[in-house]
A and B are shown apart, each in its own frame.
Chain A
Amino acid sequence: MGTLELKQSLTGHRGRVWSVCWHPKGANLASCGEDKTIIIYELAGLNWVRKMILTEGHSRTIRELAWSPCGNYIASASFDATTAVWDKKSGQFECNATLEGHENEVKSVGWSISGQLLATCSRDKSVWVWEVNDDEYECAAVINAHTQDVKKVRWHPHEEILASASYDNTVKIFKEDAADSDWSCTATLSSHTSTVWSLSWDKIGNRIATCSDDKTVKIWREYKPGNDMGIATPNNESTWKCICTLSGYHTRTIYDIDWCKITGLLVTACGDDIIRIFKEDTNCDPHQPNFTMICSINSAHAQDVNCVHWNPTIPGQLASASDDSTVKIWLYNE
């Protein structure tokens, strides 16, 4: 068993903290929540300190943040049905674009690896893809594939492929059709028996981990057309199969999951206040892998853990956000 060491507890938000996101270089952190503010932290010596508080971008809860791959922009998704894009052209982060169009609460936002595309999803059941051109944001697609509230959007780590998780219990994969530049759903991942709250791609991008209100984590693998396993690929599109289910570990809803691109470790945020870390067994069948829980921190927070995010540059460094109004910084040691 490894240890997860609490490095720092960051206060400042009033009420529930929904999301926390590392800067792509790992030197800054941003958090948001019920109090409609975004707090940006930076490392000063050994401690993380509050550097900036962004207010007045949204009139309701800020549900999620996403830092652009270049690190110069932050997108924020809000229950006020808009997504704001903040930049620091003036030296300070300022809200210089507001993306409107969703009918209800925006639940999630994410940038593609190129930074040229932005995805948002909403309780209105739709996923929107926005094209970014010189700080202009144009809606490229409105995808109505889900039948319920869409909780999360996450881009593939290297390609312009999008995955979304929904209250309709499924995850869907979307791609642009080169012929008519239409975005469409190419796969539906069905196996969870309740809301899929979040998902995370692995570093290669051929596996996805999902977490759900059904208290399980599932690992899905992509089988491309012509795969060695002889798995059928209708319409010449990849088939995604659930190759592993982690059940019996979580006692309440799992709100978030993050698959570390450096260490390959999986971390989960749960409604039972616990942060758990899982590691893939070595030498297991890639089509039937095993994951072992290597760490579990009881009362990691005083209330539900809503979000967990591995630092993209520092192995083992982790940030978490909770209903208890705090953001915590952790270090995992093997």
Chain B
Amino acid sequence: MSENLENINPKLYKKLDDREITISDQDEDVTDEFDAREIFDIIRNINDPEHPLTLEELNVVEQNLIEVDDKKNTVDVKFTPTIPHCSMATLIGLSIRVQLLRALPSRFKVSVEISPGTHISEAAVNKQLADKERVAAALENSMLVGVINQCLAPKN
């Protein structure tokens, strides 16, 4: 963790309750498509690189900023950096991307972008996160993968 936190006192948000399991969820014969809540559950507990808090607690990810089209194989996630000049924005986006790449079937096209208007380098960060060649090269960097894995490791 860095010595000088950029955002010393981030605002905390209330966590969502656990998903309610319905009878049809337990029925093996019912096709269970991916929905926004399911994607949210995959990424909500990613740790912030600086604070001992999850992306959900910092309101970096929200269920209503996730769009899923199971039939078209698309997952679009928007995330909101805690402050507009957050230098960790690319790392946070990369962590979300890696988590989804690992958790979802390969048929899905995943896009991870900054919520419009919430970061000063929004366009540059989005372009970088959308460039699969640069993402692939970044993920061959073992130091970076170590940092990402720390963000993705569940606490307790």
Contact = CB atoms under 8 A, between A and B. Distances in A.
A252 interface: yes
B106 A195 contact: no
B106 A304 contact: no
Nearest to B107: A302
A156 interface: no
B136 A123 contact: no
Given A252-B109, A271-B109, A302-B106, A213 B136 contact: no
A203 interface: no
A213 B131 CA distance: 9
B14 to A, nearest CB: 36
Contacts of A105: 137
A151 B131 CA distance: 11
A105 B140 CA distance: 11
B127 interface: yes
Interface string A169-209: 00000000000000000000000001100000000000000
A221 interface: no
Contact of B136 (A16, A104, A252, A324): A16
Contacts of B155: none
B132 A61 contact: no
Interface residues of A, number: 25
B109 A61 contact: no
B137 A213 contact: no
A123 B134 contact: yes
A102 B17 CA distance: 51
Query: Taking each of B127, B133, B137, which has the highest tally of chain A beta carbons within 10 Å of its own beta carbon?
Result: B133
Contact of A79 (B107, B109, B131, B140): B140
Contacts of A63: 133
A167 B130 CA distance: 12
A105 B107 CA distance: 27
Contacts of A123: 134, 137
A304 B127 contact: no
A167 B140 contact: no
A303 interface: yes
Given A252-B109, A302-B107, A324-B106, A194 B136 contact: no
Interface in A131-153: 149, 151
Contacts of B107: 302-303
B10 to A, nearest CB: 32
Given A302-B107, A303-B106, A303-B107, A61 B137 contact: yes
B134 A61 contact: no
A195 B136 contact: no
Nearest to A80: B140
A213 B106 contact: no
A164 B127 CA distance: 20
A153 B81 CA distance: 36
Contacts of B140: 60-61, 79
23 contacts: A16-B136, A34-B136, A60-B140, A63-B133, A79-B136, A104-B137, A105-B137, A149-B134, A167-B127, A167-B131, A194-B127, A195-B127, A213-B127, A213-B130, A213-B131, A252-B109, A271-B109, A272-B109, A302-B106, A302-B107, A303-B106, A303-B107, A324-B106
Given A151-B133, A213-B127, 9 more contacts: A16-B136, A79-B140, A195-B127, A213-B131, A253-B130, A302-B107, A303-B107, A304-B132, A324-B106
